[in-house]
């Protein structure tokens, strides 16, 4: 949910958003907003999507965020749209339960016209040193979106060398994962690694700089953030939950920021639209079409324009995928897709 360019802020309750989400205009077009529709903003952040949705007459929004700071900051927007915006501190993997608990689902039929997921860390989190998400700012090695539970420092200082290598290799796609893990274990025997700067400087000393534009610590910080917050597991649960609450013709829109997320979304939608690469050959084509829970329009993934990437370098890795819900019952996620949410459990390690 990092900020990006676009055509400028949409008029909405509460005034312009502080941050414009990457691919915002494309995401709103994919949602196909309708007057009076019911939408779920599963990653509220600074409220960029919610504000734009509320700009459409009569719409209602259930917005979730696991970060209590985001919910606190969103109270002003909720007050400017009384009865139309409900803010809930919760993980987006629980979106169907939250919708039920807050009365948005009252019977067996799904009720939502759209679900938006803008995956990843927000600019507010990256730019706040005390949250410990960024190696560019010195702060405690934290990275907890909910500000409770196990931190990145806990993982770095307590996990085994093998487990650290698994996390860095699978969640960060870091080729030097084993070498970095070995160095971290040696360092923590002398003193705990407690700050973002200490970790970044250690990695910079031992890992090669492959690209001038990419800091050597980038992949390790990504991996730790994913591990701390179980981001891939939450994404899979959110995709499954969205399938359950969207009514026929409802839209699922997902913006991702790295290849692991995008691969999971792509394979989930492929499976739910009947395009499974394995197993589908045993079913007649008519059976696949009839059971598909989503249709996936062509021309995907949608990526930022060159102008947006110039305005916001963080947008360069963003990809948008969307799908339209059919009237078929929800489909179970195939094991090969579910496995993508837990790559560190595979037991392989980097070199």
| Three-class SS of 123-152 | HHHHCCHHHCCCCCCCCECCCCCCCCCCCH
Confidence (pLDDT) at 122:
55
Confidence (pLDDT) at 178:
95
For the stretch 51-97, pLDDT in tens is 999 999 999 999 999 888 889 999 999 999 999 999 999 999 999 99
Confidence (pLDDT) at 217:
87
Quote the mean pLDDT of the chain: 85
Give the Å distances, CA to CA, from 327 to 248, 291, 298: 5, 9, 20
Number of C-beta neighbours around residue 137 at 10 A: 15
Q: What angle do CA 71, 263, 155 make, to 5 degrees?
A: 60
| 142-150: long-range contacts, CB 8 A cutoff, minimum separation 24 | 143/221, 143/224, 143/225, 143/228, 143/229, 144/228, 144/229, 145/66, 145/67, 145/121, 145/229, 146/66, 146/67, 146/68, 146/91, 146/229, 147/67, 147/68, 147/69, 149/228, 150/228
What's the rounded Cα separation, in Å, for the pair 144 and 336? Answer: 28
Confidence (pLDDT) at 62:
98
Peptide bond preceding 301 in cis form (omega within 30 of 0): yes
Confidence (pLDDT) at 276:
55
**158 three-state secondary structure:** helix
**323 three-state secondary structure:** strand
Confidence (pLDDT) at 67:
87
Give the Å distances, CA to CA, from 197 to 132, 137, 144, 194: 10, 7, 17, 9
For domain 124-229, give the CATH number. 1.10.150.170
What's the rounded Cα separation, in Å, for the pair 336 and 268? Answer: 10
What's the rounded Cα separation, in Å, for the pair 40 and 62? Answer: 5
Q: What is the model's pTM?
A: 0.84
Specify whether domain 24-122+233-346 bears CATH 3.30.300.30.
no
How do the domains of the chain map onto residue ranges? 24-122+233-346, 124-229
Confidence (pLDDT) at 164:
96
For the stretch 216-254, pLDDT in tens is 888 999 999 999 989 999 999 999 999 999 999 999 999
Structure tokens given for 84: 């139309």
Structure tokens given for 198: 């200490």
The secondary element (H helix, E strand) that includes residue 290 is helix 285-291
Q: Angle, to 10 degrees, between the axis of helix 231-245 and the axis of helix 218-229?
A: 50
What's the rounded Cα separation, in Å, for the pair 155 and 188? Answer: 12
Structure tokens given for 143: 């990275």
Confidence (pLDDT) at 343:
61
DSSP letter assigned to residue 36:
T
Q: What is the mean pLDDT of each run of 10 residues along the chain (351 residues)?
A: 37 45 94 98 93 97 92 94 95 95 92 93 55 68 84 94 94 92 96 93 82 79 91 95 97 94 96 68 50 96 93 88 97 92 54 41
């Amino acid at each position: 949910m990092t900020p990006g360019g676009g055509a400028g802020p949409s008029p909405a309750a509460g005034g312009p958003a502080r941050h414009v989400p990457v691919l915002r205009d494309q995401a709103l077009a994919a949602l196909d907003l309708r007057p009076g529709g019911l939408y779920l903003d599963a990653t509220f952040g600074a409220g960029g999507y919610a504000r734009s949705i509320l700009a459409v007459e009569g719409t209602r929004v259930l917005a979730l965020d696991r970060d209590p700071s985001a919910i606190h900051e969103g109270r002003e927007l909720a007050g400017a749209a009384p009865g139309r915006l409900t803010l809930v501190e919760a993980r987006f993997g629980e979106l169907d339960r939250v919708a039920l608990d807050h009365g948005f689902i009252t019977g067996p039929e799904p009720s939502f016209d759209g679900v938006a997921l803008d995956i990843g860390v927000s600019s507010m989190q990256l730019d706040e040193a005390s949250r410990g998400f960024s190696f560019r700012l010195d702060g405690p090695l934290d990275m907890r979106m909910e500000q409770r539970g196990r931190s990145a420092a806990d993982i770095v200082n307590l996990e085994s060398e093998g487990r650290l290598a698994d996390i860095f290799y699978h969640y960060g796609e870091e080729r030097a994962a084993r070498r970095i893990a070995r160095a971290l274990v040696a360092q923590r025997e002398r003193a705990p690694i407690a700050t973002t700067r200490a970790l970044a400087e250690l990695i910079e000393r031992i890992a090669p700089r492959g690209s001038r534009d990419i800091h050597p610590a980038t992949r390790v910080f990504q991996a730790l953030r994913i591990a701390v917050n179980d981001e891939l597991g939450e994404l899979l649960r959110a995709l499954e939950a969205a399938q359950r609450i969207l009514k026929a013709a409802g839209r699922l829109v997902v913006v991702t920021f790295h290849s692991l997320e995008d691969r999971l979304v792509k394979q989930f939608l492929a499976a739910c639209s009947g395009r499974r690469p394995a197993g589908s050959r045993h079913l007649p084509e008519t059976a696949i079409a009839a059971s598909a829970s989503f249709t996936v329009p062509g021309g995907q993934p949608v990526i930022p324009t060159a102008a947006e990437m110039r305005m916001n370098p963080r947008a360069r890795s963003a990809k948008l995928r969307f799908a339209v819900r059919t009237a078929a019952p929800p489909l179970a996620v195939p094991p090969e897709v579910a496995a993508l949410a837990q790559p560190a459990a595979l037991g392989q390690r980097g070199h």
